[in-house]
Amino acid sequence: MNSHHLVTVWNPSYATDPLEAHLQLLLDWDARATSGEVNDDDVYVWWGKVRSGQRQQPMPHLSDVLAMARTIDPDTDRETHLYLTDYRSLYVADVGLITDVDPRPTDMRHVPTYYTANGLHCDCWFYLRDIRLLVRDDLEEVTNELKRLQNVRYGDRPVSIYGGMVDLPLMVLRPDGRMFFGEGERDRLADGALWARFDAQRGGVGALEATLRDDHFGSRVWGALDVTARYFIASGERLLREHRRDRGADLSQVLVSYAKAVEIQANLILRDAMRSAPDAARRVKLHDATRLLPEALPLTLGQIAFALGGEQELGRHLRAVLEQGGWFTAEFAAIVDDFASARNASAHGDVISRESVVRWRDRLLGVGGESVIGKLATVRLKGAK
């Protein structure tokens, strides 16, 4: 949970779009692997920490950054993140290796061409296995998301883009332990594709996310939701708004998007609560087999409802450690149980009535009443900020 991560800024003067250059190269290799031309191990891209021409001295904390390489182990579920920002957008990359050896002489095909074309020199290089979008074109949300990270070399204070982006890359901690590249989450939310591929294929909903934050949920509630949950809320809402007057449109996918948002948020709550759970609360029955909940996450909607409503020791622990724990284990569990039935029909291709979709949307978002998702956003560990 206390693994170090890194934050850096990309400079738009190096290329038309440095981030896009890396994404496109990663996606090109992914396409070749999908076609069978290369192996899955060939799907990666190198990101260089460019050395400023104005700096004559070595990077002051290079040895500390390189030391992080020793903690990277592909055989564990521990992740090392490289957060990439231009202040308007924010991405997180899955780091597989950190080195001060220039990869271009031996692995030029995995390095964007602008590094060589512009004669750039780098202090170190990061081997990136995937890149996931967190915030697109929203300075306020980038600022808020970076505050979730603690700057190790600045007294573990929250990362600030105003005066705090010095001696890059920043070494940071992520107190909430959020992981972004687990196979379970990727399989459930991105159909097993690279997050870079998923992001490239999904439509932009940034403006609608800002509208939902400013005009519906409010900044406090919206900020308490996971960034990917926000995307699926906005995606479902956009689909509903676009086809609201089209009586022949199938709105079933609206429920699928909302369901993914609820799943993400509920699973993150459960993961946080498991950190202090006794053994009895960790053991849950899923599909007629008893499993350790931390290892079983993420759960489906149906599994969430079953675990919350049917496991007494788990429920007792959750009520003890969570704000709104009583609501989470009782009313929310019942709501999710009902919602899972509607969502499952949608996911399996059954046409759900427009009235049912709108009714669930209104209940989840709080149109004309209390918002289930808004209430879910208030469920957190007691004492957490």
What token pair was written down for 229?
């949950």
How far is residue 205 from each of residues 199, 224, 265, 286, 337, measured CA to CA in Å? 11, 19, 19, 35, 28
What are the DSSP E strand ranges found in 42-169?
45-50, 81-85, 90-99, 122-135, 150-151, 157-158
Q: How many C-beta neighbours within 10 Å does residue 317 have?
A: 21
Instruction: Kindly give the pairing relationship between strand 150-151 and strand 170-173.
Output: antiparallel
Read off the amino acid at residue 287. H
Residue 163 has pLDDT above 50, yes or no: yes
Q: Confirm if 304 and 339 have CB atoms less than 8 A apart.
A: no
DSSP state, residue 110: G
Residue 47 has pLDDT above 90, yes or no: yes
Q: Taking the mean position of all CA atoms in its chain, how far away is CA 40? A: 22
Backbone angles phi, psi at 110, to 5 degrees: -105, 15
Residue 89 has pLDDT above 80, yes or no: yes
Length, in residues, of the chain: 385
Gap between the Cα atoms of 288 and 277, Å rounded: 22
Q: How many C-beta neighbours within 10 Å does residue 250 have?
A: 15
Residue 28 has pLDDT above 90, yes or no: yes
Question: Could you read off the pLDDT of 252-307 as tens digits, one per residue?
Answer: 889 999 999 999 999 999 999 999 999 999 999 887 889 999 999 999 999 999 99
Contacts of 35 by beta carbon, 8 Å cutoff, 6+ apart: none
Q: Confirm if 366 and 374 have CB atoms less than 8 A apart.
A: yes
> Which structural domains are found in the chain, ordered by start?
4-173 (3.10.590), 203-381 (no CATH)
Q: Confirm if 66 and 84 have CB atoms less than 8 A apart.
A: no
Gap between the Cα atoms of 228 and 247, Å rounded: 30
pTM of the model: 0.87
pLDDT of 2 reads 56
Question: Could you read off the pLDDT of 307-356 as tens digits, one per residue?
Answer: 998 899 999 999 999 999 999 999 999 999 999 988 887 666 677 888 89
Question: Could you read off the pLDDT of 343-383 as tens digits, one per residue?
Answer: 887 666 677 888 899 999 999 999 999 999 999 999 999 98
- Within 111-150, residue ranges assigned H as helices are 114-117, 139-146
Residue 305 region, left (φ>0) first, then alpha (ψ -120 to 50), else beta?
alpha
pLDDT of 56 reads 64
